[in-house]
């Protein structure tokens, strides 16, 4: 961390954006107003994740009109994880804060996050949800279930976790060193092991529009995060296989003994049920194994995390990353 007495520090504000043209100008103004209270230089990194609306036009105009704003546009929608990665790769600050452009992550706690970073010399400040806002019962239940499963399988407690985080330059550089495609920001940051502090916040209402997250995108993220951080599902498959193998040996031995002793082999219904159970377990096991094979397949292709279509406010750089 650079000493404040020697040189003024720079804060990079990273906003992953997807189809938020109607309120991005307002969001930047609100964040800037909050940051004016802090003695720190500012740069905004606005990342358009392949929006189909007027988002790129708006953030390009912001970059053209403001020297402290830099904007990126993906060639298509690559996902929020890639947008965060792009923002961190292009951030020049001594510290970066990632937050949602819809202001559900309240900017008014940023000064406290900066104070924790400066005074306590922590490398990471996690903003943890104390109130999740207007989520449906199904969303809250499935989210809670995911966090329990994730903690059981990976050992990392993500309850209340969000992408709203402060990262020191050391953390940024370490995160940029990851070369995997299946990034899971919320899980990888604590995995790095840097000194961390926590601050709580209440999720705010969106300033406009509706969430772009669907049940399918949440499910895909959940599967990706679990397969990225744990091989326990594969071990469970092996354990179940051993149990069924032992059961088959016992059942087969009993059948042979009965046949040799001249007793009729009964229980046709039981056999059918056992076949159905074993078949179901086999299909489920193949599905779990298939998820890991699919992940390996995606990783070995070594494709870039994202492709940039346009930039504004940057010096000329390559468009592929």
Cα–Cα distance for residue pair 11/41, rounded to 1 Å: 6
pLDDT band at 135 (very low <50, low <70, confident <90, very high): low
The CATH superfamily assigned to 10-213+305-312 is Spore Coat Polysaccharide Biosynthesis Protein SpsA; Chain A (3.90.550.10)
* In the chain, % of residues over pLDDT 70: 85
Angle at 115 between CA 114 and CA 121, to 5 degrees: 90
DSSP state of 19: S
pLDDT band at 177 (very low <50, low <70, confident <90, very high): very high
Three-class SS state of 9: coil
Across the chain, mean pLDDT equals 83
pLDDT given at position 320: 47
Q: Which pLDDT tens digit goes with each residue over 256-293? A: 777 777 776 666 667 777 777 888 888 888 888 888 88
pLDDT given at position 207: 60
Which pTM does this prediction carry?
0.78
Is pLDDT of 319 > 60? no
What residues contact 78, with CB distance under 8 A and at least 6 apart? 49, 50, 305, 306, 307
Angle at 313 between CA 312 and CA 315, to 5 degrees: 100
Average pLDDT of the residues in 130-151: 70
pLDDT given at position 4: 45
Q: Which pLDDT tens digit goes with each residue over 19-40? A: 999 999 999 999 999 998 889 9
What residues contact 305, with CB distance under 8 A and at least 6 apart? 78, 82, 85, 86, 181, 183, 321
pLDDT band at 5 (very low <50, low <70, confident <90, very high): very low
pLDDT given at position 132: 56
Q: Which pLDDT tens digit goes with each residue over 72-96? A: 999 999 999 999 999 999 999 999 9
């Amino acid at each position: 961390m650079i000493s404040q007495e020697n040189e003024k520090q720079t804060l990079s504000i990273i906003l992953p954006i997807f189809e938020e043209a109607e309120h991005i100008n307002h969001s930047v103004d609100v964040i800037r107003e909050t940051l004016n209270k802090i003695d720190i230089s500012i740069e905004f990194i606005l990342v358009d994740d392949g929006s189909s609306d007027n988002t790129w036009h708006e953030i390009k105009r912001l970059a053209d009109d403001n020297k402290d704003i830099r904007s990126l546009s993906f060639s298509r929608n690559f996902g929020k994880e890639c947008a965060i990665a792009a923002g961190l790769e292009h951030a020049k600050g001594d510290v970066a804060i990632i937050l949602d452009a819809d202001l559900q992550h309240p900017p008014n706690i940023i000064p406290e996050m900066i104070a924790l970073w400066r005074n306590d010399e922590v490398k990471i400040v996690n903003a943890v949800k104390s109130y999740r806002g207007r989520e449906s019962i199904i969303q809250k239940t499935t989210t809670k279930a995911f966090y329990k499963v994730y903690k059981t399988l990976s050992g990392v407690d993500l309850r209340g976790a969000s992408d709203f985080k402060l990262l020191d330059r050391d953390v940024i550089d370490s995160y940029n060193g990851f070369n995997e495609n299946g990034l899971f920001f919320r899980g990888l940051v604590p995995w790095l092991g840097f000194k961390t502090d926590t601050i709580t916040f209440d999720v705010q209402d969106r300033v406009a529009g509706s969430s772009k997250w669907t049940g399918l995108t949440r499910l895909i993220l959940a599967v990706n995060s679990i397969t990225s951080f744990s091989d326990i599902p594969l071990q469970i498959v092996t354990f179940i296989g051993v149990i069924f193998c032992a059961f088959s040996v016992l059942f087969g031995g009993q059948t042979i003994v009965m046949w040799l002793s001249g007793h009729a082999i009964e229980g046709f219904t039981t056999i059918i049920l056992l076949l159905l159970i074993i078949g179901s377990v086999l299909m489920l096991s193949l599905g779990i194994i298939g998820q890991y094979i699919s992940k390996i397949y995606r990783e070995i292709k070594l494709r870039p995390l994202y492709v940039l279509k346009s930039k504004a406010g940057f010096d000329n750089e390559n468009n592929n990353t």
